[in-house]
Amino acid sequence: MAEHFYVYILASQRNGTLYIGVTNDLVRRVHEHREGVIPGFTKKHDVKTLVYFEQFSDPENAIQREKTMKFWKRQWKLNAIERMNPMWRDLYDEIAGG
């Protein structure tokens, strides 16, 4: 079974505060953000809505993509979200099978 790696963007609300992360278990990681079990930026700023993600087959490419996206201008990040998810729906239920 192939392992997958994900780069994801969480938002506090439409056009709100954004957080970019990387993980090998998107459902678990987003759940942790949503429940506030890990102290840090997302808990402090109430950033819990999964609005964007990309899947990779190897960790190096996922990590490089995360680093690249973190240096993007804010508008580029908003454009990426709008292309994938123009309504800014919370994608968590879709990935969690709910």
pLDDT given at position 95? 94
pLDDT given at position 2? 72
The 10s digit of each residue's pLDDT in 64-74 is 999 999 999 99
Q: What's the order of all strands across the beta sheet hosting 5-11? A: 18-23, 5-11, 49-56
Element of type H or E holding 8: strand 5-11
CB 33 within 8 A of CB 81: no
- Three-point CA angle 15, 60, 3, nearest 5°: 90
pLDDT tier for residue 97 given thresholds of 50, 70 and 90: confident
| HSE of 11, CA atoms in CB hemisphere, 13 A | 19
Taking residues 48-55, what's their average pLDDT?
A: 98
pLDDT given at position 98? 65
pLDDT tier for residue 81 given thresholds of 50, 70 and 90: very high
Q: Decide: pTM greater than 0.75.
A: yes
Domains and CATH numbers, the chain: 5-96 (3.40.1440)
Smallest Cα–Cα separation from 47: which of 20, 71, 72?
20
